[in-house]
A = this chain, B = another copy of it.
C-alpha cells in the first residue's frame, strides 16, 4: 500500500514478476483495493493478505510501527519474522521500513546498525553506495560494518567478483578526512580485505571501485546532488540547442542515444535497494516506483534469498568482526 502509485503499480509489478518467481508473492494490503486495480484473475502464485491500515509517507517511523499493527508495512515485516515469508519488498515510508526491520527482526550479530545499499550507474556499469538512507549518525565501526555488508551484497547478489571497497572521503591520502573517516580508514586498512582506500566524489563515477562506504547523511547528499545535477545538465543541453525549429530537427537523431542514457540512469532498472544488516531480506523501492521497478525489486529479493544474503553477511560479519567490545581492542 506504500508508494505514490500503490496499489496499482505495486500489483502490476507483482503480476509481471509472477512468472519468474519460483515461490509465491504475498500481496499485503487492502484486499478490495488490490482486486479493484487488477482486471481479471491473479496468477496462481499470487495470494492476497488483508491488511486494513496504511503507513503514510509522512508518518513518524517508530510511532507508525508501534501503533499501526495492522498496516501492510508492519504485517509484511511480521510475515518474514514468523518465517511465513522469505523477503519483504515495499515502496512505502523508508524510515518506517527501516524501523520495522530493526525493531521486529533485529540486526545481525556483529552488525550494530543497518544500511541501505543503492546501485548507481557509472562509466563501467554500476557501483554500490551505502549507507544511502538508514544510519545518519555513524561511527567508524558502523562504516566498517557497511563495508562488510556492501561487499557481500555486491558479490553474492550483483555478481561483482572480489568487490573493491572504498571509503568516500575528501582526499585520497590516509591523512585526509574528518574524524569519522580518518578513524574508519584505519579500521578498514588494517582489517578489511578488499579495501582499496579513499575515493573522492569526483571519482565515484569512474568505475574503479565497486562499493563506496559512507554514512547515510553523506550518502543522501551524494545521491540527491547527482539527481539534481543530472536533471540540470540535461536541461542546459536542451536550452543550448538551436531555437529555430528547422535547426532543431537534427536533435531527433540524438534521441535514441538520450533514451539509452536515460535508461542507464533509470532507478527502475535496478528495482529496489536492500536494507542490509537486519535479520531478514528487505528491499525498499523508491516512492515513485512503477510496475517495472517493483518487478525488478521482487526479482532482486528472490535472488537475495537464493544466494543466502543474510547468512552470508552473518558469516562474514562474524569472521571479520572487530575485536573486543563491539569489537575494538580485545
| A contacts, CB < 8 Å to B | 60, 122-123, 136-137, 168, 170, 175, 177-179, 181, 200-206, 214-218, 220-237, 239-242, 247, 249-251, 253-254, 256-258, 260-261, 264
Question: Measured between C-beta atoms, what is the minimum distance from A129 to chain B in Å?
Answer: 11
Q: Is the CB of A221 within 8 A of B222?
A: yes
Q: Is the CB of A136 within 8 A of B170?
A: yes
Question: Measured between C-beta atoms, what is the minimum distance from A261 to chain B in Å?
Answer: 5
13 contacts between A and B (CB under 8 A): A60-B175, A200-B224, A201-B220, A201-B225, A204-B225, A218-B221, A226-B229, A233-B234, A233-B261, A236-B264, A239-B261, A241-B257, A242-B254
Q: Is the CB of B217 within 8 A of A201?
A: no
Residue of B nearest to A264 (CB): B236
Q: Is the CB of B233 within 8 A of A230?
A: yes
| A177–B60 alpha-carbon span in the complex (Å) | 14
The answer to whether A257 and B237 touch (CB under 8 A), given A170-B136, A170-B217, A221-B218, is yes
Q: Is the CB of A202 within 8 A of B225?
A: yes
Q: Is the CB of A261 within 8 A of B234?
A: no
Residue of B nearest to A122 (CB): B232
| A202–B286 alpha-carbon span in the complex (Å) | 15
Q: Is the CB of A136 within 8 A of B178?
A: yes
Q: Is the CB of A240 within 8 A of B257?
A: yes
Contact partners of A168 in chain B: CB under 8 A: 221
Question: Measured between C-beta atoms, what is the minimum distance from A72 to chain B in Å?
Answer: 23
Question: Measured between C-beta atoms, what is the minimum distance from A205 to chain B in Å?
Answer: 4
Contact partners of A261 in chain B: CB under 8 A: 233, 236-237, 239-240
Q: A214-B221, A218-B221, A236-B261 are in contact. List 9 more A-B contacts (CB 8 A).
A: A136-B170, A201-B222, A203-B224, A205-B229, A225-B225, A229-B233, A239-B257, A239-B261, A247-B253
